[in-house]
Amino acid sequence: MDISSLVQWTYENLVPATVRSARSTDTQPADPTDKPISVNYFPSRKCNYTCGFCFHTETTSYVLPIEKAMEGLRLLREAGMQKLNIAGGEPFLYPKLLTQLLQYCKEELRLESISIVSNGSKIRETWMRDNSQWLDILAISCDSFNPDTNIKIGRGEDGKNVDRLFQVAEWCRKYGVKFKLNTVVNTHNWNEDMTAQIERLAPFRWKAFQCLIVAGENDNAKRKRDATDFLVNDEQWQIFHERHKHLKCFVPEDNQSMASSYLLLDEYMRFMDKGAGMITTSDSILEVGVKAAMNQVKWDTASFLERGGIYDWAKEKSCDGGEKRELIW
């Protein structure tokens, strides 16, 4: 079975009916080798935290004008994008920009899912109240439930990350946004048992990433971040995995699963290839178009499918307490 047939079978058999029914016939997924079904967009590299393992560091302070950003997102939608994930940097350093992007993508482009990844430090309830109508998923990055550990990692200096995390989770429930948690497994937290706190938070999805080295970003002491001291070995990764695998929301991703399985778009609207070797970028989609830019990088669509890249990502249907409908191969 070729990759196009795999995606079509997945779409018809594993993607929930509530998601499929919302899709028009002209946006059905076909061959993902030329359709950017799910895109991770980094509108800015700026961040107020200094996480020691960061693989997308603040090497520039550039932010694309909103008109150009909208133009690029329109091109992506026309090329087949169905889900947009906005990351950084810290996206909530630009709350007005987020509002503009969310409203445009939902009301004009009619994207079926928009998510944001944040460290949670700058989110305010007023923003959640005013923007939840356009936001499907809010993911908060938290690497430990121990304040001292978070400080060692570089996630702020006040030790209140966990308090803010539970507050944001409450706002998500209040305003009907799916709550997600992201954790980077590293030398400071691999032996931590997070079960009780995760059960209290009840995220619909908890992504646990093995700490990753990206050449050109965090691979040595000459970079803005040096993640070499944060790397866990396979045994440590497996210990963390075994301790938490019974949780229904747990979605582990080791280095092999992550390599080239994400379609990444930087602040200039260039696709980034963070696979083997030094990081490379395509030409901007604003200059050469989506298809030509995608052909300049590697996007491992098989790995994208295997790690569950297509799932119930619209907020209309809750996954709480229900069976997870993800790709399992």
Residue 32 has pLDDT above 80, yes or no: no
What are the residues facing 271 on neighbouring strands?
A: 265
97 has a pLDDT exceeding 80 = yes
Residue 196 pLDDT class (50, 70, 90 cuts): very high
Asked whether residue 94 is assigned to any structural domain, the reply reads: yes
| Residue 326 domain flag | no
Specify if 325 maps to a domain.
no
pLDDT at 56: 72
Mean pLDDT of the chain: 84
Residue numbers of the domain that contains 190: 3-24+32-306
Please report the pLDDT score of residue 8 as a whole number: 53
Counting the structural domains of the chain, the total is 1
The reply to whether 79 falls in a domain is: yes
Specify if 323 maps to a domain. no
293 located within any domain: yes
Q: Is 48 helix (H, G, I), strand (E, B) or coil?
A: coil
pTM for this one? 0.84
pLDDT surpasses 60 at 69: yes
Q: What is the pLDDT at residue 302?
A: 84
Strand order in the sheet with 83-86: 250-253, 205-210, 178-185, 137-141, 113-118, 83-86, 38-41, 264-265, 270-273, 280-284
pLDDT tens per residue, range 123-173: 999 999 999 999 999 999 999 999 999 999 998 889 899 999 999 999 999
Bridge partners of residue 41, in order along the sequence: 86, 265
Q: Which listed residue (47, 142, 172, 249) is catalytic? A: 47
Q: The domain spanning residue 227 has which CATH number? A: 3.20.20.70
Please indicate whether residue 51 is annotated as part of the active site. Answer: yes
* Percent of residues, the chain, with pLDDT higher than 70: 81
Domain contains 315: no
Whole-number pLDDT of residue 17:
45
